[in-house]
Amino acid sequence: MKKIAFIGAGNMGGALVIGVCKAIDPQQVVIYDIDTAKTQSLAEKTGCLVAESAGKACEDAEYIVLAVKPQFLRSVQADIVPAMKAAQEKGIGQKILSIAAGITLKDLAEIPQANGLELPVFRMLPNTPSEIGEGLNIYAVNSLVTDEMQAELEAMFAMCGLIENVTEHILDVASAVSGCTPAFAYMFVDALADGAVRCGLPRDKAIRYAAQAVKGAAAMVLETGRHPDALKDAVCSPGGSTIVGVATLENAAFRAAAANAVFYANEKNLDLGKK
């Protein structure tokens, strides 16, 4: 029996595989993706196993991670039902974990239930910094998930970063800020670097300095517990350069743009769950 199977080894699934292989024996991790180049690369990097099909990956796994896009999730679930039934006959108590946005715990349980499988179900919304142990991985569970299962899951994903159990409502409304923010932050870092290059800083230094400054600012919020606005004010000396920069961002509707990015990303996540 294998501890965990990943169906899907794209950017997000691959990041989680790397993190999980740091927490448990990689030989207890089996992966499958139609893109064999991705699975081969991950296997070489982590030491995990590669399956020849989704069913083969799932047939002996205790946890099944569905790391596929929402529009493909239901068809993937249907494809692995025979393997899950075979696992049940072997006495393997399987658990399902999905990272697809917008698909509810109830939705995730429907296909297994229709095939006589009543399984514990997890929904997790991770983000790509999990690859380096700096991810945000929030999850919700259905009524069949026990405290022991939660503890086991958290131990497996501990090396991916912060992992936190929340209600499904919180999971849904937090999905955009947790999952999409890395992309927004990369855009911000890139824009800051462009500005620095415009001022005469070499590109490599501009990117490194901008990224470190953003990383440090985020750490200040997390470690001090102070409100971001108060921390911002502490940097803005009267008549100084920072307040001029802040005013420039405000004139460009920076805050509104960032807030709207999260709001409309969340709207899209909800729409994905309806398809």
Give the CA distances from residue 215 to residues 137, 201, 207, 209, 212, in Å, rounded to whole numbers and listed in that order: 18, 19, 12, 10, 5
Share of the chain above pLDDT 90, in %: 90
Q: How far apart are CA 86 and CA 80, in angstroms?
A: 10
Mean pLDDT of 223-252: 96
Residues 6+ apart with CB under 8 A from 245: none
Q: Which of 133, 151, 174 is the last residue of a domain?
A: 174
Using the predicted structure, report yes or no on whether residue 273 has a pLDDT greater than 70: no
Closest CA to 262 of 169, 161, 179: 179
Give the domain extent around 216: 181-272
Residue range 118-154, pLDDT digits in tens? 999 999 999 999 999 999 999 999 999 999 999 999 9
**122/102 same-domain check:** yes
Task: Mark whether 147 and 189 lie in a shared domain.
Answer: no
Q: Taking a C-beta distance cutoff of 8 angstroms, is the pair 25, 1 a contact?
A: no
Amino acid 271: pLDDT: 80
60 shares its domain with 145: yes
Query: If you average pLDDT over residues 236-262, what whole number do you get?
Result: 96
Return the CATH number at 164.
Answer: 3.40.50.720
pLDDT of residue 208: 98
pLDDT for position 274: 65
Distance of alpha carbon 156 from alpha carbon 126, whole angstroms: 14
Reported as a pLDDT band with limits 50, 70 and 90, residue 231 is very high
| 220 and 101 belong to one structural domain | no
Cβ 20 vs Cβ 29: under 8 Å: yes
The pLDDT tens digits of the residues spanning 77-86 come to 999 999 999 9
Kindly state the average pLDDT of the residues 147-168: 96
Mean predicted lDDT score pLDDT of the chain: 94
User: Do 60 and 94 fall within a single domain?
Assistant: yes
The domain that contains 216 carries what CATH number?
Answer: 1.10.3730.10
* % residues pLDDT > 70 (the chain): 99
Is the per-residue pLDDT at 275 higher than 60? no
What pLDDT score does 101 carry?
A: 86
Domain shared by 145 and 255, yes or no: no
Q: What value does the mean pLDDT take over residues 237-263?
A: 96
Residue type, 96: I
Same domain (yes/no): 12, 78: yes
pLDDT at 175: 82
The answer to whether residues 27 and 48 belong to one domain is: yes
Give the model confidence (pLDDT) of 181-199 as tens digits: 999 999 999 999 999 999 9
| Whether residues 15 and 48 fall in one domain | yes
Instruction: Give the domain-ending residue among 147, 174, 201.
Output: 174
The reported pTM is 0.87
What is the structure's pLDDT at 176? 84
> Do residue 167 and residue 185 come from a single domain?
no
Where does a domain end: 125, 158, 174? 174
First vs last C-alpha separation in the chain: 34
Nearest to 133 by CA among 153, 161, 157: 161
Domain total for the chain? 2
Per-residue pLDDT of 38-60, as tens digits, reads 999 999 999 999 999 999 999 99
What secondary structure, in 3-state letters, does the chain show? CEEEEEECCCHHHHHHHHHHHHHCCHHHEEEECCCHHHHHHHHHHHCCEECCCHHHHHCCEEEEEECCCHHHHHHHHHHHHHHHHHHHHCCCCCEEEECCCCCCHHHHHHHHHHCCCCCCEEEEECCHHHHHCCEEEEEEECCCCCHHHHHHHHHHCHHHEEEEECCHHHHHHHHHHHHCHHHHHHHHHHHHHHHHHHCCCCHHHHHHHHHHHHHHHHHHHHHHCCCHHHHHHHHCCCCCHHHHHHHHHHHCCHHHHHHHHHHHHHHHHHHHCCC
Q: Do 105 and 222 reside in the same domain of the chain? A: no
Instruction: Give the pair of three-digit tokens for residue 213.
Output: 């400054």
**What pLDDT, in 10s, does the model give residues 86-123?**
999 999 999 999 999 889 999 999 999 999 999 999 99
Same domain, 44 and 164: yes
Give the separation between CA 233 and CA 243, rounded to whole angstroms.
9
> What pLDDT sits at residue 6?
98
CA distance 110 to 87: 18
